[in-house]
Structure 1
Amino acid sequence: MGVDKQRVAVIGGGAAGFFGAIAAATPQTSVTLYEAGPECLAKVRISGGGRCNVTHHCFDPAQLVQNYPRGGKALRGAFSRFQPQDTITWYQQHGVKLKTEADGRMFPVTDDSTTIVDCLMQAASQAGVIIKTRMPVRQVTKTPGGFSLGLTEGEVGCDRILLATGSSPQGYRIAQSLGHTIEPPVPSLFTFTIKDTALRQRSGLSMNPVEVKLKLVGQKQPLIQTGPVLITHWGLSGPAILKLSAWGARGLHDQGYQGTVLINWLPQLSQDEVRAQLQQAKGEGGKRAIANHNPTPAPKRLWTYFVERAHIDLQAQWATLSNKAINTLTQELCQGEYSIQGKGVFKDEFVTCGGVRLKEVDFKTMESRLCPGLFCAGEILDIDGITGGFNFQSAWTTGWLAGQEIKSGLPKSASVPPHYSQRSE
């Protein structure tokens, strides 16, 4: 290379692209980031309701990978080199402290995503990264000396490329043009549309914990998740539903978002224990209306929904409740069946499964196995995590690994953080 700087093009100004650009920048590299939109880090800015769920408080790679419906196996070694503890350290070194919430999600102590955006922008500026917004890359061509980028304003040459375009169709087209296979992209992390007017009228109510099981045609075993469930004006949402949608993303897509979800609203109790509680309520309730004596932790408006769903008169007296009615109500509480008839959109943090086939990328370096000099990071890969900071963590990790390799050109072991240098892959 002589005295010439290595020219690096980063395509995509999201979390992975930005972090990769910062990691790749040295006095010997000239890094230019191309973002098609009007601003970078748009998803970072709106994520977590504007608070930015930076990562998750899970520091064991073996446990961490269990939160990725697709890509966990490939990420196992990557997380041994850069994981949430490294993310926390990096932000702390750049003046941003993170805090951990009860469910393990980590946010900036300011509860403001602008803190993260400003930190990344400042780090990029200090590293000398050149940022060009409203600058879509139309095409990429492999050349004998590197690559040629087709921009609106003409052709630009570079030595190495980091492709971090998220779920952009244009990014997929570029990857395909350079020899990669794209696993069909389909939505992940979405809510369920339930066409039950009485349920929708309880919009805003929630319960935690709730066990939800997803049954799809042709599926031997149901998918199961436990956690908070929120009733919305279109159906069901909340962490348990979103996690279930991630694990069932392909199956639900293939079946037109039609399926059945079984809900155990009281998973902390066995079915026999629930039945016994209802029998006890019958003995204690006497002449009281069933609607007015709720023996469960469910909000009263949700309790009345369960009673109506069991075809029991809300004004009937507890003392008149038959054993058959108690069994029906027990079934509704422990194994209520709901028909999924479409999906909603998780607007703030929309995630897509699918992307560049993982076997075609070396996860030690994030370099393409098919096109030397091309690196991939973030959601353009066939990786997606459940809600809770896992998607950002895979972006930080893959971006960092790519940037380290781009700037060094040395074996990965030469640029591992010191406190991870002895870890096995």
Structure 2
Amino acid sequence: MSKRKDIIIIGGGAAGFFAAINIAEQHPELSIVILERGKEGLQKVKISGGGRCNVTHAEFIPSELVLNYPRGEKELLGPFHSFMTGDTIAWFDERGVELKIEEDGRMFPMSNTSQTIIDCFLNEAKKHKVEILYNHSVKSINTRENDFSIETSQGVLDCNKVVVATGSNPKIWNLLKDIGHTIIQPVPSLFTFNIKDKRIKDIPGVVAKNVEVKVIGTNLVSEGPLLFTHVGMSAPAILKLSAFGAVELAKFNYNFKIEVNFIRLDFESCIDKLKNFKHEFAKKAIVNSPQFDLPKRLWKQLVLASNINESERWADINRQQLEALSAQLTEAIFHVTGKSTFKEEFVTAGGVDLKEVNFKTFESKRIPNLFFAGEVINIDAVTGGFNFQNAWTGAYIVSQSIA
């Protein structure tokens, strides 16, 4: 025999808890249930930001905030006018969780642990009598004339309204497809580049502070810090490319070439600078006099790759070597041969087609009383707390729509 509830929230993650708590606060008379497939929820919150939970990002202008969403930029502009970063900070502050802003704009709880956010959600859910059913994997979502029947691994639940907040979950996407929604094929969105190249083989941990990276044969370009790792390249310059180029790079099967400009100057301007160095540092060994504020170890590898040996002085190098060094500095080509998940954070592009969601309410345009929050929709962001901000905004607007 089935049990009846007012609202069922599928997904015990950030968006699911946020929606449930906000609905319950406004309507304590409603019976609200969160269905979580595992034995505990909020696992993505737990690992986010290296276990510190990157709650949001200190960007307070909606038109600027949306620029961090490769998919969803246009759709989120209106919602961000209703609930965004400042509202998120206030929401947590009102519940005893103070956030801090780091140098790069990322925001974390003052405690520096994701457990603070998890405890906040669990305490608020308990306080407002939100029921959490663990080990309840959803088998089917059945739409009826005025309500829903949700079949789980532990039995059937009936309800008036359903909120799907499962994140990137292929199984749930298939169930939504079964009831009439279009699902955009998911592909990885936030990943690092695997590169085997002797120039970077021995310099893991080195950071070039401000580079420009282009994917050759495309319009994809990004800039920012670049980190060399044991398997290739990471940090914002690469992660932005992976997010904005998610669909295109998947078509290449993650086998493509990138051009890196390490100093953000063009080839000719670089040649002019190198000629000046040739006179200014004439007696110095080139490998031992890094320029352009580049890390010593990176500079050495780029010099050696330009057919300049370790003992050669600035005064000794010829035009050909100068041009080779300028090319390494401004248009170095690297061959990407695969990808790796960024830390433990697996983000995908794909999900419920944006055309099928009403972004004033986050309700399905196909099925009345079916709502979405978070990455279950075809929205994703670059790293830095932006994916969570999308979750909070969508969940908050869902709660207002239901209320």
AA aligned opposite 2:237: A
Which has the larger displacement, 289-298 or 45-54?
A: 289-298
Match of 1:308 in 2: 304
- Kindly, what percent of the aligned residue pairs are identical? 45
Which runs of structure 2 are paired with 1:174-185 in the superposition (5 Å)?
Answer: 174-185=175-186
Match of 1:290 in 2: 286
Q: Which secondary structure state, in structure 1, belongs to the residue aligned with residue 311 of structure 2? A: coil
Which has the larger displacement, 229-238 or 200-209?
A: 200-209
Q: Which secondary structure state, in structure 2, belongs to the residue aligned with residue 378 of structure 1? A: coil
2:333 counterpart of 1:337:
yes
C-alpha distance in 2 between matches for 1:379 and 1:7? 24
Residue deviations 1:339-366, cap 9 Å, x none? 1111111132221000000111111111
Match of 2:383 in 1: 387
2:20 counterpart of 1:21:
yes
AA aligned opposite 1:225: S
2:131 counterpart of 1:130:
yes
Q: CA contact under 8 A between 1:57 and 1:100: conserved in structure 2?
A: yes
C-alpha distance in 2 between matches for 1:155 and 1:295? 67
Which runs of structure 2 are paired with 1:69-80 in the superposition (5 Å)?
Answer: 69-80=70-81
Q: CA contact under 8 A between 1:230 and 1:237: conserved in structure 2?
A: yes
Residue 252 (structure 2) aligned to one of 255, 259, 266: 255
AA aligned opposite 2:371: F
Residue deviations 1:23-60, cap 9 Å, x none? 22122211100111221111111111111111111121
Stretches of structure 1 that go unaligned for 5 or more consecutive residues are 409-425
Q: CA contact under 8 A between 2:199 and 2:302: conserved in structure 1?
A: no
C-alpha distance in 1 between matches for 2:336 and 2:7? 47
Match of 1:154 in 2: 155
> Could you tell me how far 1:143 is from its partner in structure 2?
2.0
Residue 230 (structure 1) aligned to one of 227, 231, 235: 227
C-alpha distance in 2 between matches for 1:132 and 1:257? 39
Which has the larger displacement, 223-232 or 207-216?
A: 207-216
> Could you tell me how far 1:273 is from its partner in structure 2?
4.2
C-alpha distance in 1 between matches for 2:306 and 2:146? 71
Residue deviations 1:271-299, cap 9 Å, x none? 44432332233223334332222233222
Match of 1:45 in 2: 46
Which has the larger displacement, 140-149 or 391-400?
A: 140-149
Q: Which secondary structure state, in structure 2, belongs to the residue aligned with residue 159 of structure 1? A: strand
Match of 1:419 in 2: none
AA aligned opposite 2:239: L
AA aligned opposite 1:252: L
Q: Which secondary structure state, in structure 2, belongs to the residue aligned with residue 328 of structure 1? A: helix
Stretches of structure 2 that go unaligned for 5 or more consecutive residues are none
C-alpha distance in 2 between matches for 1:28 and 1:348? 39
The root-mean-square deviation of aligned C-alpha atoms, in Å, is: 1.5
C-alpha distance in 2 between matches for 1:92 and 1:389? 17
TM-score (norm 1): 0.90
AA aligned opposite 1:203: P
> Could you tell me how far 1:6 is from its partner in structure 2?
5.9
Match of 2:216 in 1: 215
Match of 1:266 in 2: 263
Q: Which secondary structure state, in structure 2, belongs to the residue aligned with residue 354 of structure 1? A: strand
Q: CA contact under 8 A between 2:5 and 2:157: conserved in structure 1?
A: no
C-alpha distance in 1 between matches for 2:200 and 2:169? 36
Which runs of structure 2 are paired with 1:343-382 in the superposition (5 Å)?
Answer: 343-382=339-378
Q: CA contact under 8 A between 1:48 and 1:348: conserved in structure 2?
A: no
C-alpha distance in 2 between matches for 1:32 and 1:192? 41
AA aligned opposite 2:376: I
Which runs of structure 2 are paired with 1:197-208 in the superposition (5 Å)?
Answer: 197-208=198-209
> Could you tell me how far 1:91 is from its partner in structure 2?
0.5
Residue deviations 1:284-318, cap 9 Å, x none? 33343322222332222111110122122122222
Residue deviations 1:176-218, cap 9 Å, x none? 12210000000001011112133122111001111111224xx
Q: CA contact under 8 A between 1:98 and 1:108: conserved in structure 2?
A: yes
Q: CA contact under 8 A between 1:6 and 1:28: conserved in structure 2?
A: no
AA aligned opposite 1:15: A
Which has the larger displacement, 273-282 or 153-162?
A: 273-282
Q: Which secondary structure state, in structure 1, belongs to the residue aligned with residue 341 of structure 2? A: coil
TM-score (norm 2): 0.95
Residue deviations 1:110-162, cap 9 Å, x none? 22111111111111111211011121111111123311111122211111110
C-alpha distance in 2 between matches for 1:36 and 1:140? 14
Q: Which secondary structure state, in structure 2, belongs to the residue aligned with residue 134 of structure 1? A: coil
Q: CA contact under 8 A between 2:37 and 2:134: conserved in structure 1?
A: yes
Q: Which secondary structure state, in structure 1, belongs to the residue aligned with residue 340 of structure 2? A: coil
Q: CA contact under 8 A between 2:255 and 2:337: conserved in structure 1?
A: yes
